[in-house]
Structure formats: structure tokens, C-alpha cells
Amino acid sequence: MIGKEMIKKHLLTCSVTLVLVLISELNIFGTTIIEKAAKVATLNARTSDFIFLKSSKAVAYNFANEALPVNDARVTRKLNKSLRQHDFKSVQSNILHRKAELWFPIIEPILKFYGIPEDFKYVPLVESGLKSGTSSKGASGFWQFMPGTARTYGLRVGHGVDERKNLRKSTIAACKYIKELYDEFNSWTLAAAAYNNGSIKLARAINRQKEDNYFRMKLNRETGSYVYKLIAMKAVIEQPKEHGYDNYFVIPPASQLLAIN
């Protein structure tokens, strides 16, 4: 009996020792494997043409769910420039956010009704958020319509009437125009570029360059930066504190909303 008890104790001691050794080895090798995997992932991310992991900021920068190309120095440079131009240091005012609070409740339902991505609500802020009146070329109103284009899409312009300055009516006209541009180019990014430059000029540029990716095209300075401005505007409105803005904005009373409707 004594011999059997001693054998049992010896076996139990050996078992415990073996378990402890295994746990120790697992911890050592587990850590090593994780560390090696992390190093390989980091190396791949640095040397590959593909990005396996994206930061939250990188994912956030898109227009109408059409993402910017990654690992493109030219795209990054243009985006950063536009973000700097729209941050609080450059603008020195909360006027963009105040106008967003005023305009978006009217614009958003109309965009949704016509099936236009919500990101197009930033077009009026880019076009007329920091300026007002009529441009030297004759464009006017929230969506900066030229007189001829405005009339084509149902707005009255002339004889003391200018519906380009009516937010609701001009947004309806803009939606009809943008929908046609999308049907032509099959890209919301290109539709935005065509809104700025005109469909004929953009179509010629696409045919000449054999390229239909806005971010890879060589366009004139204004059109080439237009979508970047929209993306930057989206960033400063949706994440004001990250771009130097105080997060307090006054929602205007209902009478003011009706005044421009």
C-alpha cells in the first residue's frame, strides 16, 4: 500500500511539473508567434502595394462612398491641402457650420427623394458657403447655377425673379442635373466634377486621357481640386473639433428656415 501511494504521489508531481512546463512553453512561443506575426504584418504594410489595415481617418475620407486611392502621394497631398484650407485657422469662423444647420434640413430630404447621395449636400457649402452673390461668369444662388442651366432645369431667372436663390427649388433643380450627370458618367465623383466643369469638358478630358478615375485625371486647377474640397467640407462639418472648430452651433428658428423655402 505504501509503495502504491508513493507511486501515485510521484506520478502526480510529474504531471504537475509537465503541465507547468507546457504552460511556460506556450506563453513563450505564443508571445513569439504573435510578435513575429505583428512584425510580418508591419513589414507587408510598408512594402506592399496593398493596405491590409486602415486607420479610421483613412476610411472616413470618401465622397458618396467612393473611396480615395490609397498609397498615392499626389492624392494625399491634395487632400491635406484642402483640409488645411477648410480648418478653423484658415476660415476663422463658424459660418460654415451655422449654414449647414440652416440648409441641411431642407436639402437632405430632397436629395433622398431623388436618390442622390447625401454627400452632395456639401456642394452648396463649397459653392456659396463662404461667399454670396453672383460670380463674374454669372453663376448665382446656393448651387451656383448659370442662368441657362437654371432655366433648363425648371428655375425662373429674369424679370425680377431669380429662383436660384430659393433653396428648396434650386435643390430640386440640382438633383435633376446631378442625376443626369451620374447617368452619363456612372460615377458620383465624376458627376460632382462635371457639375463644376460641365459634362462636355469632362467627357473630352476622359477621352483624351483614356482615364475615368477622377483622382488619377489631370484636370484644370478648379475642377481638379473640387472633389477634395467637398471631402474636406464633409470632414470639418462632421468632425469639427478635429479641425479646430468649437462644437456649438445655433439652430435657427423655424421662421428663418421658411424664409428661404
Question: How many other CB atoms sit within 10 Å of the CB of residue 180?
Answer: 15
For 59-259, CATH gives 1.10.530.10
Round to whole Å and give the CA distance between 179 and 183: 6
Domain assignments of the chain as residue spans, ordered by start? 1-53, 59-259
CB 237, CB 122: distance < 8 Å: yes
**CA-wise closest residue to 87 among 248, 245, 230, 196:** 245
What is the arithmetic mean of pLDDT over 73-85? 95
DSSP letter string, 113-153: HHT--GGGGHHHHHHHSS--S--TTS-BTTTTB-HHHHHHT
Q: Is the pLDDT of residue 81 over 90?
A: yes
What is the arithmetic mean of pLDDT over 16-36? 45
In this structure, what C-alpha cell is assigned to residue 44? 507587408
pLDDT digits (tens, 9 = 90+) for 137-188: 889 999 999 999 999 999 999 999 999 999 999 999 999 999 999 999 999 9
CB 106, CB 167: distance < 8 Å: yes
pLDDT digits (tens, 9 = 90+) for 33-65: 334 333 433 333 333 333 222 334 444 689 999
pLDDT given at position 256: 45
